[in-house]
Structure 1
Amino acid sequence: MNSVILSRACRVVLGLGILLVAACAAPPKSAQAVHPVETTTVESALYDQYQAWQGTAYRYGGMSKAGVDCSGFVYLTYRDQLGMQLPRTTLHQSRIGQAVSPQQLQAGDLVFFLTGPNTRHVGIALDKHRFVHASKSKGVVVSSLANDYWQQTLWQARRVY
């Protein structure tokens, strides 16, 4: 066997072993990548998810097309489209990854809002201006971050991949 091919195969096996050990040892509050996704693919995957879920009704605690809440939609999107395991709740999702400014938003960044004294909301940035989320009034929709309501309630943005 060609030594270059053998060397690459050894690096892949070693890398997979390291990833497996790291995933088992990782704290539960971090996102765990099943496979990395390129940024250009993220936007396409998000639009695929949006098209499949568009209009799905909001249901607190929901995790299906019969009804889904905001953190459930984020959880399912990351799992099914991006191959990453995120925490299930908005609060726990808000504690993972790295903070980014709204001006630095990229497709796949999580955007968090404080919509009431003890109420949080989460969506996924499609770009610097729009995000997809499970809205209580409209179900799964794309909204503008330029909207006054979303600008006033924006709490933070986080990059988890």
Structure 2
Amino acid sequence: MSTAVALGASLLTAGPVNASAPQAAQPTAAEASVTAKLSKKRLQRQQKRATWAVKYAYKQIGDRYRYGGTGPYSWDCSGLAGGSWRKAGVKLPRTTQQIYRAVKWKVSWKGARKGDLLFFYSGKTHMGIYVGKGYMIHAPSSGKRIKKVKLNSYYKRNFSGAVRPGYY
């Protein structure tokens, strides 16, 4: 049974009241294969960029911390992360909170891989670049230098999220 409604000079006809919503078309095997290949290529490109970002971060060890620093000889934590990923071909926003919001691929503590950006404290006010094997490189605070540190229980307690840039 269908219902007709007159609106001005036109007539609209609605379908049956109990009709189900249209179903999304299922991808064919060929479409699924193309998507898988595309995803694999993107993932490989992301991993290559992550390797470059980590290499660049290693080269900055020993540089001075400077609030608002974006390099090349002094950095703050988000400046170091942004500069490292910029050298790998990925542009990130300026601050820790902006970076966390902008990068859509969120990562867990246990799921972190080289190049992931780790955030700390409730306001995501500090960050570092995960370099693998339980270590990160970060710009600690005023008066200190860029360094590689072990992710111990202090960092785990204050961990507030992580992202994986470079996948698009």
The TM tier, using the shorter chain, reads: 0.5 to 0.7
- The answer to whether 1:134 aligns with 2:139 is yes
Q: If the length of structure 1 is used for normalisation, what is the TM-score? A: 0.66
Identity, % of aligned positions: 30
Deviation at 1:64, TM superposition (A): 2.0
Distance 1:47 1:86 in 2: 15
Equivalent position of 1:37 in the other structure: 45
Equivalent position of 2:59 in the other structure: 52
* Equivalent position amino acid for 2:163 in 1: R
**Map 1:1-161 → 2, pairs under 5 A:** 37-39=45-47, 42-43=50-51, 45-80=52-87, 82-95=88-101, 96-114=103-121, 120-127=125-132, 129-136=134-141, 138-145=144-151, 147-161=152-166
What RMSD over aligned residues (CA atoms) do the two structures have, in Å?
A: 2.3
Deviation at 1:56, TM superposition (A): 0.8
2:57–2:80 contact (8 Å) kept in structure 1: no
What is the number of residues matched between the two proteins?
122
1:106–1:128 contact (8 Å) kept in structure 2: no
Distance 1:160 1:65 in 2: 21
Runs of 4+ in 1 over 3 A off after TM superposition: none
1:50–1:141 contact (8 Å) kept in structure 2: no
Unmatched 5+ residue regions in structure 1?
1-32
Greater per-residue helix proportion: 1
- Residues 1:111 and 1:47: Cα distance change in structure 2 (over 3 Å): closer
